Amino acid sequence: MIKKALLLAADSKRLERIIGRSRLTKPLVSRYVAGTTLDEAVAATRELNAKGIDVSLDLLGETVSDLRESADATAAYVDTMHALATGSPDSTVSVKLSQLGIGLDPVVCVGHLKQLLDVGAESGISVEVDMEHSSVGPQTLEAFRSQLPSHPNTRVAIQAAMRRTPEDLCSFSDVKPRIRLVKGAFLETIDKAIVDPAEVTAQYQHLAGWALQNLPDPAFGTHDDSCVELVKATAARLGISKRDFEFQMLYGVRRELQEQLAADGYRVRVYVPFGSRWYPYLMRRMAERPANLMLFLRSVVGD
């Protein structure tokens, strides 16, 4: 119930205006968001790099209302990629196709995605395509698939909670995709998604084992100890090097675990969001970790 309420709140423009204006939320926001500017995001990236941790930068913002906004977002990502190439060449950027205009004009959106992929090929900064709500899920996979032959290093996020995910993965027959396996953080109907947390975890673990055996360079987006340990054990049993897959975690979440995994020789990448549109992102993080809700509420009321 709490998770559903938080996911509904994530889409509330009214709450976003109210909470976004409150300076009292800044301490909590700064834990999970690297700042509002590219310079702040690059500084956070370099701090993580110094600890042996790679980064994927995410420019906050989701569905756009006109194609000019999608062009602006694309240009901002180009600037981000150039900034990363000069000091953090092992970084990636994570893009949401709703931000590139997939809901307005899929052809224009794919053009923006291709532009970023071409910049990535020149700069060495790979692109990761985020998976969003099921309303744009099929279009996201179609756009990703269309660019895969010419840009095979592109990664796409796959949500374990979605019922069609096993079918989606098996549909890649010509080119095996690079994926980031996550549980999923969007409010979905029961016909489209598994809602029981234990079942989602079981599905995640099953798909993680499958990915290690069948896909190149899989990434596992998880903070769940049981999932981390399963990935480690499965990789060891299959004789897969610690450098042939990676763990991905969120900025500000389980920082000690991030550093320990890196110290143990595993590849670790932290998803680092930046920008002014932090509210929907933060609400989804609260939904994933309801224990943080009280901390958030206290920051809002100034307690």
pLDDT, tens digit, 9 for 90 and up, residues 55-92:
999 999 888 999 999 999 999 999 999 999 998 999 99
The pLDDT tens digits for 23-64 are 656 667 888 899 999 999 999 999 999 999 999 999 998 889
Write the pLDDT tens digit of every residue in 147-177. Answer: 999 999 999 999 999 999 999 998 887 789 9
In this structure, what token pair is assigned to residue 65?
């209302």
- pLDDT, averaged across the chain: 88
Distance CA 80, CA 57 (A): 8
C-alpha span between 132 and 111 (Å, rounded): 19
Is 131 labeled as ligand-binding?
Answer: yes
Give the pair of three-digit tokens for residue 233: 């054990």
Distance CA 84, CA 97 (A): 21
Residues in CB range of 89: below 8 A, 6 or more apart: 124, 125
- To the question of whether residue 165 is assigned a binding role by annotation, the answer is no
Q: What is the pTM of this model?
A: 0.89
Of 130, 168, 178, 269, catalytic: 130
Per-domain residue ranges of the chain: 34-277
- Residue 28 phi/psi, 5° resolution? -75, -40
Least confident of 12-21, 118-127, 170-179, 288-297: 288-297
The answer to whether domain 34-277 has CATH 3.40.1390.40 is no
pLDDT at 283: 75
User: Is 269 assigned a ligand-binding role in the annotation?
Assistant: no
Q: Please report, as a single letter, which amino acid is at residue 52.
A: G
**Sign of the C-alpha dihedral computed for residues 254, 217, 265 and 38 taken in this order:** negative
The DSSP secondary-structure symbol of 162 reads B
User: What's the rounded Cα separation, in Å, for the pair 138 and 151?
Assistant: 19
Q: Which of 54, 168, 178, 180 is catalytic?
A: 180
Active site residue 17: no
Cβ atoms 88, 46 nearer than 8 A: yes
Instruction: Determine the Cα angle at 63 with ends 59 and 66, to 5°.
Output: 105
pLDDT tens across 226-245, in order? 999 999 999 999 999 999 99
Instruction: Give the amino acid at 136.
Output: V
Dist CA 228 CA 232 (whole Å): 6
Which pLDDT score is estimated for 62? 80
Q: Is 96 annotated as a binding residue?
A: yes
pLDDT above 60 for 7: no
Distance CA 29, CA 15 (A): 15
pLDDT at 63: 84
The percent of residues in the chain predicted with pLDDT above 90, rounded, is: 70
130 is known as an active-site residue: yes
Tokens 């980064």 correspond to 55
